[in-house]
Amino acid sequence: MPSDFYICVLGSGSKGNCVYLRAGGVHFLVDAGLRYNDVEKRLHDIDVSTKDIQHVFITHEHIDHISGLKKFAKNNTATVHLNAQTYLRVSSELPAHYPVNVFDTAFEINDIRVTPFAVSHDAVDPMAFSFSFLGKKISVVTDTGYATTLVKEQIKNSDVMVLECNHDEEMLKKGIYPWPLKQRIAGKLGHLSNLQAAQTLAEVTSERLRHVFLAHLSAENNSPKLALETVGSHFSNLQLNCPALIMTHQSRVSELVSI
Ligand SMILES: [Zn+2]
Ligand SMILES: [Zn+2]
């Protein structure tokens, strides 16, 4: 069995999210929120074809996580994994008799242990995922208003993490968004700020945590520089070793990490 365990973020931000992973020769995606043509193109950039993708894990039904699903399912046969509530919301995107795995607990695909866990977000039953393979663990967490105790427990002992750094709290406060939208984003069912992400990381970090992808940045209320600085300076204030921080992008593939 091949021992490869790779991850890169094909695209991330408020306009669409899609993460690529490969474990033991099994190719899979978390979310399908980029246009199908972009998924095709960006996979091609890393020498992968959409036909190689065997599994797609859906976190929740918001458009920036499923906008490419319909066309993906029309052109491919990768199994779509999602929970029952989310399935009810997105089943219309899938052709009849499309292969679907409706999960309610952790499960295995070959030697990959898939652990879905609930996040705090204004969708019907939003999830995040951890993938464990040959003693290594990668966690993907976006779209959560705060890091609940459950989230923090689940992401402990990760070797690599994708973590939401949605907004800078000051930029959001002073920005042009209407007040109800600001409240939604900053609320418990909204999105993690840079500072919340930094605090969460500092709480769960360990010797094992080597790489963190900063994801789901708002184009209006954040900048890559601010996100990187906020996390970096939080770690240095606490005199903690900071894992390598990797920026993700809305319009291009991130760096690829192999563990
Ligand atoms: Zn969402
Ligand atoms: Zn989102």
In a domain, 187, yes or no: yes
pLDDT of residue 1: 73
Cβ-proximal residues to 78 (8 Å cutoff; 6+ apart), any chain? 28, 29, 53, 54, 55, 56, 72, 99
In a domain, 85, yes or no: yes
In a domain, 216, yes or no: yes
Grade residue 2 by pLDDT with cuts at 50, 70 and 90: confident
Beta bridge partners of 100: 80
pLDDT of residue 88: 98
In a domain, 201, yes or no: yes
Q: What is the mean pLDDT of residues 188-210?
A: 97
Task: Kindly give the distance from the C-alpha atom of residue 19 to the centroid of ligand 1, in angstroms, as a whole number.
Answer: 15
pLDDT of residue 158: 98
Cβ-proximal residues to 183 (8 Å cutoff; 6+ apart), any chain? none
Task: Kindly give the distance from the C-alpha atom of residue 3 to the centroid of ligand 2, in angstroms, as a whole number.
Answer: 31
Task: Kindly give the distance from the C-alpha atom of residue 210 to the centroid of ligand 1, in angstroms, as a whole number.
Answer: 27
Q: What is the mean pLDDT of residues 82-88?
A: 98
Q: What is the mean pLDDT of residues 232-247?
A: 98
pLDDT of residue 186: 95
pLDDT of 137-173, one tens digit each? 999 999 999 999 999 999 999 999 999 999 999 999 9
pLDDT of residue 120: 97
Tell me the angle at which helices 224-237 and 194-204 cross, rounded to the nearest 10 degrees: 40
In a domain, 236, yes or no: yes
Grade residue 100 by pLDDT with cuts at 50, 70 and 90: very high
Q: What is the mean pLDDT of residues 117-127?
A: 98
Task: Kindly give the distance from the C-alpha atom of residue 134 to the centroid of ligand 1, in angstroms, as a whole number.
Answer: 31
CATH number at residue 167: 3.60.15.10
Task: Kindly give the distance from the C-alpha atom of residue 121 to the centroid of ligand 1, in angstroms, as a whole number.
Answer: 7
Task: Kindly give the distance from the C-alpha atom of residue 239 to the centroid of ligand 2, in angstroms, as a whole number.
Answer: 32
In a domain, 257, yes or no: no
In a domain, 258, yes or no: no
In a domain, 124, yes or no: yes
Q: Which domain holds residue 45?
A: 5-252
Task: Kindly give the distance from the C-alpha atom of residue 3 to the centroid of ligand 1, in angstroms, as a whole number.
Answer: 33
Residue burial 201-226, b: 16+ Cβ < 10 Å; e: rest: beebbeeebebbbbbbbbeebbeeeb
DSSP SS3 for 173: helix
Grade residue 239 by pLDDT with cuts at 50, 70 and 90: very high
Residue 60 identity: H
Q: What percent of the chain has pLDDT over 90?
A: 99
Question: How many domains is the chain built from?
Answer: 1
Task: Kindly give the distance from the C-alpha atom of residue 22 to the centroid of ligand 1, in angstroms, as a whole number.
Answer: 24
